[in-house]
């Protein structure tokens, strides 16, 4: 699947999320979304070299204003997005899940975060009040191998939140 940043922005709109930087880190550790997955981890997941991560904080327009979303792009093939869901995280994530449940390829994913699912070729994860979207692109081959790569990256990212 080809990654389209607008698709990730659409996910942020549906979720109605606000961005926040991760907790304090050692000065040598990247912060933001690129601090969640290393370049080597992204390359291993993809099965091919990736460029250094490119951090982007984007204002995503929505009715009545905009929200901030953090993204890290390891080229066009590996993307991680981070969103702070706030005090109604479970409800907001549930609404997002429901909005995608009828999509082809939708499935619940166990053993990642508090709850997770895959839809539109992307893994969506919630842990506490934090939401992640992880996408490993077409060079990985799709299907179960892509999902396993996304779950592995999800576990790495959750360990760094």
Query: pLDDT in tens for each of the 161 residues of the chain?
Result: 333 333 444 443 333 333 333 333 334 445 689 999 999 999 999 989 999 999 999 765 444 444 567 999 999 999 999 988 778 889 888 888 998 899 888 999 999 999 999 998 899 999 999 989 999 986 555 666 889 999 999 999 999 98
If we measure between CA atoms, which residue out of 24, 134, 126, 35 comes closest to residue 85?
126
Answer for the pair 120, 100: CB distance below 8 angstroms, yes or no: yes
pTM attached to this predicted model? 0.76
Answer for the pair 70, 121: CB distance below 8 angstroms, yes or no: no
Where do the domains of the chain lie? 5-21+29-158
CATH classification number, 5-21+29-158, choose in 2.40.50, 2.70.50, 3.40.1000, 2.60.40: 3.40.1000
80: CB partners within 8 A, 6+ apart: 33, 34, 36, 37, 71, 72, 132, 133, 134, 135, 153, 157
- At residue 161, the 3 state secondary structure works out as coil
Rounded to whole angstroms, the Cα distance separating 61 from 147 reads 29
């Amino acid at each position: 699947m080809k990654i389209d940043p607008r698709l990730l922005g659409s996910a942020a709109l549906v979720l109605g999320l606000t961005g926040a930087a991760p907790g304090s880190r050692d000065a040598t550790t990247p912060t933001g979304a690129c601090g969640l997955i290393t370049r080597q981890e992204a390359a291993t997941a993809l099965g091919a070299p990736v460029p250094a991560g490119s951090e982007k904080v984007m204002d995503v327009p929505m009715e009545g204003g905009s929200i901030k979303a953090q993204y890290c792009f390891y080229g066009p093939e590996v993307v991680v997005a981070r969103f702070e869901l706030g005090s109604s995280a479970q409800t907001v994530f549930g609404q997002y899940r429901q909005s995608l449940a009828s999509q082809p390829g939708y499935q619940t994913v166990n053993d990642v975060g508090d709850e997770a699912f895959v839809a539109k070729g992307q893994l969506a994860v919630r842990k506490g009040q934090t939401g992640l979207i992880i996408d490993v692109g077409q060079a990985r081959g799709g299907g179960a191998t892509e999902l396993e790569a996304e779950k592995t990256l999800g576990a790495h990212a959750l360990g760094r939140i």
